[in-house]
Chain A
Amino acid sequence: MRLSRDGVAGLILFGISLALLADTFNLPRMPLVPVGPGFYPRIVLVFMAVTSVILVAQDFLKVRAAAPSALAAPGPRRRYDLVAAIFAVVAVYILLLPYLGFRISTALFVGAMQWAIERPRTSRQWAALAAVAIGTVVVSYLVFETYLLVLLPRGSLTGW
């Protein structure tokens, strides 16, 4: 059975629906409430399972009906490598936040992300990168902590 992206997504969602549906039967029943905590999730999950099956079936029929020549022409190249790199940078930033604190980790994050998106080549570009990184930290610190009294994360290692 050949499936495209929709069919695979439908199968994954169907699997998730079934797994969670099975889990609802482990939820306790409450004597004072006519329906238990699993009642509403079951409705949602059955709905999700049924629609996922429909998506898989639609996709199967579409893939079978499509001629090989009907494949879409490739569009401009998309930078999925960059997307993966940026997700990694954001994940590292969020993991470092509680240890290094907002000020240090944000400066590193803004610098790293600029570097990942557009590599600086000249000393002027490097200076601009550093200025944006430090400027973001200074402005956000002044606006949020000093003016709006919104607390930003402190680092357990740095105390900043």
Chain B
Amino acid sequence: MYELLGQGILTVLQLKYLVPLFLGTLAGVVGGALPGVTITMTIIVILPFTFGLDPLQGLSAMTGVYVGGSAGGLITACLIGIPGTPSAIATTFDGFPMARKGEPGRAVWLGVWASFLGGLLGGAFLILTTGPLAAIALEFGPWEYFSLFVLAMAMVAGLAEASFVKGLIATAIGLLITVIGSDPITSVPRFAFGSAFLNDGFPFLPVLIGIFAFAQIMTDLEKLGHPKPEGTMEGAKSLSVSHLKVIGEILGRPFLLLWSTFVGIVIGVLPAIGGSAANMLAYDQAKKFSRRPEKFGTGIPEGIIASESSNNANVGGSLVTIMAFGIPGDAVTAVMLGAMTIHGIQSGPLFVVQHAGLAYGIYAAYILAHPLMVMIIGVGALFILKITSVRLAVLAPIVLVLCVIGAYALNNTMQAVYVLLLFGVVGYALVKTGFPLAPLILGLILGDQIEINLIRSIMTDDNPWLFITRPISGGLLLCALISVVLAVWQHVRHQKRMAAEADTDF
């Protein structure tokens, strides 16, 4: 394993791979730092650039975006009090107050080094566990896969912030989109209504790009002209700091670093949850375990370390899920999965064995992206801060042009571009009606696989009880049931608490 990893590192250190990795990390840091541009949006923008590259070049660039984006959000979170990405929201709570107290360099570098250390620990988990988890996944039959996908969807729907029912409906919409077009077993067209456009179904990437890009850009446009928060540090002249001291501050809190990293990895492994949940949960945990919880939010290092180490460790966890099971951990890895499919690579339990060079190349790219990220932020943090002042009038059309190129270049047809626009409208409408996008995307990603595994299991043995009596499948379905019950219970408890608070509010 270590020999393969060494070979992977030597391969990625070649200029041919190092340049896309560097550019991807740079794009990730800049995209992550731009408020309103998420990592998903950045990777969508990067996607068309990878079509002309070889698989490892393209995936190195995407890994760079993911690592860079997870850290880039902290720059604006600390210096202007606006998280560049949702995965840096919790960084704002202590990073911005610390910067306003006159320590912007300390705030930024605590975040950068925490991201670096958390990310590398996440990388160790990625390298050490992908193989054993893939070996477990090889034991899975269609029953187990079906149950695993059901569990993934139950968990994501349960985590929907707005409402559990809306989370379930969003999942169903995602599944429904995959049903339109030819049936995967018999190729009978479904819900095509005689239209050639609908006959082939909707290609996954244009749907994903349309939903995310339009929902994001249109929501930003709606808010155009809203006032910026006061007291920003846009005029910060220097971020110089003693790096040894900052690293010492982080390593002096080993439990905090390890626990936040662990939280990040676990959230990353769980499908479709992502860094936005990881940083909040890690921050919450750090506060609960702290001897001085009342100091959180006033500019203490613990808040920054917890948030940033968890969101970068989350990347390692997400990559485990995609490489061992072929299930994307979030929308970013869903785009990576789509890019792999374009290059004819099937992700799943056999991926590491069948494409060892590529798999270890991805590990190497992941590891090397971290020092690159530190270097990019070290050299250009203040310059990146200036880029964040780019007007939406310039940014929005360029992003949309790249989305159109990304959709068109998939198979050089306008059909994918029409799908992009159609789902752009659908995505925006869903956001405006309060439907969460994460469950929808998971339904969209897993829909085909759920159907294929369901039909395959029935064709193998039509006894439906096998889903429950096979131990792993039954266990997974039980977990799904527990997840649903817990989500309902939490929802009911929340409603009761709200009602009680309303009653006592004179």
Contacts and interface: CB of A to CB of B under 8 A. Distances in A.
Interface in B142-186: 163, 165-166, 168-169, 172-173, 175-176, 179, 183, 185-186
14 contacts: A9-B433, A23-B191, A33-B186, A34-B458, A40-B455, A44-B176, A51-B172, A94-B404, A109-B397, A109-B401, A110-B401, A132-B394, A149-B52, A153-B408
A104 interface: no
Interface string A105-148: 01001100110011000000000000010001000100110011
Given A79-B221, A83-B428, A110-B401, A98 B414 contact: yes
A71 interface: no
Interface in B450-506: 450-451, 454-455, 458-459, 462
A97 B172 contact: no
Contact of B165 (A40, A58, A90): A58
Q: At the interface, is chain A mostly helix, strand, loop or mixed? A: helix
Nearest to A9: B433
A48 B447 CA distance: 14
A44 B172 contact: yes
Interface stretch (B35-43, B229-237, B310-318, B416-424): B416-424
A15 to B, nearest CB: 13
B48 interface: yes
Contacts of A9: 433, 435
A53 B226 CA distance: 37
B392 A76 contact: no
B405 A150 contact: yes
Interface in A28-68: 28, 30, 33-41, 44-45, 47-48, 51-52, 54-55, 58
A59 B435 CA distance: 14
Contacts of B435: 9
A86 interface: yes
B173 A82 contact: no
A86 B397 CA distance: 10
A30 B175 contact: no
Contact of B166 (A55, A76, A149): A55
Contacts, number: 164
A40 B405 CA distance: 34
B390 to A, nearest CB: 10
The B interface, classified by DSSP as helix, strand, loop or mixed, is helix
Contact of B52 (A33, A117, A147): A147
Interface string B51-88: 11100000000000000000000000000000000000
Most buried by A among B176, B223, B224, B435: B176
Nearest to B176: A44
Contact of B400 (A10, A41, A90, A153): A90
A152 B405 contact: yes
A151 interface: yes
A38 B190 CA distance: 8
A152 to B, nearest CB: 7
Contact of A48 (B176, B418, B420, B462): B176
Interface string B390-420: 0111101110111011001100101001101
Contacts of B397: 109-110, 113-114, 132, 136
B344 interface: no
Interface string B328-352: 0000000000000000000000000
A27 B218 contact: no
B225 A37 contact: no
Contact of B222 (A37, A45, A79, A140): A79
Contacts of A91: 421
A48 B173 contact: yes
A3 interface: no
Interface in B85-137: none
A31 B225 CA distance: 62
Contacts of A51: 165, 168-169, 172
Contacts of B191: 20, 23, 41
